[in-house]
Structure 1
Amino acid sequence: MKLPIAVTSAALLPHFESHEESAERPATVSDRRVPSARIVYALTSQGRGHSSRVTAMAEALEARGHELLFCAGGGAGRLLADQGREVIEVPVLRHLMHNNHIRLWTSLLQVGKKAIETRGVVDGLIERFETFQPDLLITDFESYSVRAAQRMGLPLMCFNHQQILTHTRYEVPRRYAWDAWVARLVINTVMPRQPEHVVVSSFFYPPLRYPGQATLVPPILRAAVREIEPSAGEHVLVYHNDPTGIVGLIEAMQAMPEQRFIAYNFERPPDAANTMPNIEFKDPNIDGFLVDLASAKAVVSTAGFTLISEALYLGKPLLVMPNGGIFEQTLNALYLRRENLGEAIMHRIPGPEDLRGFLRRVERHGGRRPEMLSCGNDDAVACIERVLGRINERTAASTA
């Protein structure tokens, strides 16, 4: 038996409205200002979505006069450092994938081992944070900074997409009940139990589980995404967040010599230029990727939130293949398909007929839709500043 997926009518509205209680609706950023603050912004380095979201929020918060110190590792840390921003490097706790499926127990063992080996990282973060004297820590699913903030008594808030699993009431087919329970357990273990507030960015809006404690905002979009002009080219952009051991997807593209593909984040096969002339393999590059995304005929990708959001904003037809064992991606795919925003292949890698069938149907899903052109940057900034305002009031009261 399948249960319907709950979705509020706000997912279809051309203008976003806050999904808190009406009394808690965020002001727009032009309504009021709080004094400039020092903020530690921490993010995980798993996938490109977190760094894209944090880049957008950094632009918005810095424009409001706030001073930021970043906490990140891996590619996300390098990206922020290349932008001239100060970054504290932290270890990257990655899950392991094989053939588009998370190796759950191996990942948990590796993460646990690395967390034990890097216990001293938190002491180093506390020292750096004390020098910076932050007013607030914002975490985008980064755990070392959370532990440092908790030991310091530093106010912290969460800002990510993953906590849509813990802070909203969604319904899914019964076959996913166990996956949903495990995902909530993991998220509640990693993220703080009682943050100042939780901001969840999403392209779909199920009812909040804890009204007043969380806010749903539309996708966070970098200025480059908002400003680029989309066009309908001839290539299909293909992206996989972790192609380790993946079998079949490159072969499916190769079996369609009539179609040009641009493939990001794949291990380039030997002699690919001669044996796969219809596939152009490119290394991850956030600006080059955006150009190829904006000019794509369609997108085939894993079901990460940021790429789905950017593709929808640019009016690109989507075929997603969620990572097995990552329920957040499963939920993204279910909502994408239910709202007829794109198509999804569940629990397997798309084959040539899947790709051909999707490309025959692209007109059903393409085109820029007014209801998908919302951008949550201003709402998120207003929410962060409202939290800063509460912190300022609490500090003033305690020193009065």
Structure 2
Amino acid sequence: MARIVYALTSQGRGHSSRVTAMAEALEARGHELLFCAGGGAGQLLAESGRTVVSVPVLRHKMHNNRIRLWTSLASMGLVTARTHKVIPALVERFRAFDPQLLITDFESYSVRAARRMGLPLMCFNHQQVLTHTRYEVPPRYLADAALARLVVNMAAPNNAEHVLVSSFFYPPLRDPARSSLVAPILRRAIREIEPQTGEHVLVYHNDPTGLHGLLEAMAALPEQRFIAYNFEPPANAAAMPNIQFVAAEVEGFLRDLAAAKAVVCTAGFTLISEALYLGKPLLVMPNEGIFEQTLNALYLERDGLGEAIYHRVPEAADLRAFLGRLDRYTGRRPTQLRCGNDDAVACIEAVLERLGAR
């Protein structure tokens, strides 16, 4: 069996959920894993008893549901410049582990270390659906799509042995010989929990910094209970008795997701995939400036799986109208019960076999 370095970004909860699921699958096949991550993702993996090499976290800066592009680039550039000594340390740690392969989920330090030591690598993420598939978008988004492809191509390594993309929608691949598309990667807890339909709506925003209007919209529906994750309770939280503010916590989030009557969230891939698997109606609000989320929302609507609000946050009228249409989306659909874990493991092992044959 192989020794694999598995590296992931700490931007958002989805990457850590995907890697946790894949860790279980790969370890069950006898592969030995060394993880490379920082922030909450690294902490989550370490708490599960896995060996983690910590790296600096490069984060997007958000304000009012929009990425602050130049501020984000400047911040990431500054952190990268200040932490250049991380690479030699990573090379030393990787060489001691003696891996056959690096799998990177959009983590940049590990890629630079792998280049320095000649370690083969493969990419495994959702973002490269933007660069490795042929999808159609409305004309107003053509420029955004082109810019997003450029940014992802610049950020992703160009020497990958293979690109593995996980997605809940399936546009044709540009180059099937060098890339693969699999169904969503689902952690065991999602696959095993039995969904129910409760009375609350789960609300999640990946970074509510400076967010205006969403809490007020929920408060304007006093008859509806909302459970809000990742929100700091405002000074006037007492005037919003129908909103329960909950700190991010994996097991509690899973329970509330499984029992929700509906989900209102940003358009990140992992939460959409998990909610669809559990048969939850979805209303999403893509982060402006992150075209991957816009594309997720477009396909969610195109395939009749949920609804989306673009370029703003939902207002009270939007929430009320969506909640009045839940019957359109409630229930588990056979097409959404696909799980890509086994296909992803098979793809990784095919890459390892190809490398061993050289």
Instruction: State the 4+ residue runs in structure 1 displaced beyond 6 angstroms.
Output: none
Per-residue CA shift, 1:66-114, capped at 9, x if unaligned? 0100000111011001101111111111111000000111111111111
> Could you say which residue in structure 2 is the equivalent of 1:68?
33
Choose from 75, 80, 101 the match for 1:136.
101
Displacement of 1:271: 5.0
> Could you say which residue in structure 2 is the equivalent of 1:341?
305
Unaligned runs of 5+ in 2: none
For 2:76 and 2:153, the matched residues in 1 are separated by 16
- What value does the CA root-mean-square deviation take over the aligned residues? 0.7
Kindly tell me the number of residue pairs found equivalent between the two proteins: 358
> Could you say which residue in structure 1 is the equivalent of 2:46?
81
Per-residue CA shift, 1:310-338, capped at 9, x if unaligned? 00000000000000000000000000001
Per-residue CA shift, 1:244-280, capped at 9, x if unaligned? 00000011111111000000001111252x3111111
The structure showing larger relative contact order (alpha-carbon pairs under 8 Å, at least 6 residues apart) is 1
For 1:102 and 1:358, the matched residues in 2 are separated by 26
* Counterpart check, 1:377 vs 2:326: no
Displacement of 1:118: 1.0
Displacement of 1:186: 1.5
> Could you say which residue in structure 1 is the equivalent of 2:65?
100
* Counterpart check, 1:51 vs 2:20: no
Choose from 193, 214, 220 the match for 1:228.
193
Amino acid at match of 2:109: Y
Unaligned runs of 5+ in 1: 1-35, 395-400
For 2:101 and 2:329, the matched residues in 1 are separated by 41
Per-residue CA shift, 1:131-184, capped at 9, x if unaligned? 110110000010110111011110100000000000001111121122112211
Amino acid at match of 1:46: Q
- 1:114-133 counterparts in 2 under 5 A? 114-133=79-98
- 1:256-295 counterparts in 2 under 5 A? 256-270=221-235, 272=237, 274-295=238-259
For 2:90 and 2:217, the matched residues in 1 are separated by 46
Counterpart of 2:185 in 1: which secondary structure?
Answer: coil
For 2:286 and 2:251, the matched residues in 1 are separated by 24
Report percent identity of matched pairs: 73
Choose from 313, 324, 327 the match for 1:363.
327
Per-residue CA shift, 1:16-57, capped at 9, x if unaligned? xxxxxxxxxxxxxxxxxxxx1110000000110000000000
Per-residue CA shift, 1:1-28, capped at 9, x if unaligned? xxxxxxxxxxxxxxxxxxxxxxxxxxxx
For 2:339 and 2:176, the matched residues in 1 are separated by 22
Displacement of 1:188: 1.1
* Counterpart check, 1:180 vs 2:145: yes
- 1:198-209 counterparts in 2 under 5 A? 198-209=163-174
For 2:324 and 2:303, the matched residues in 1 are separated by 19
Amino acid at match of 2:313: I
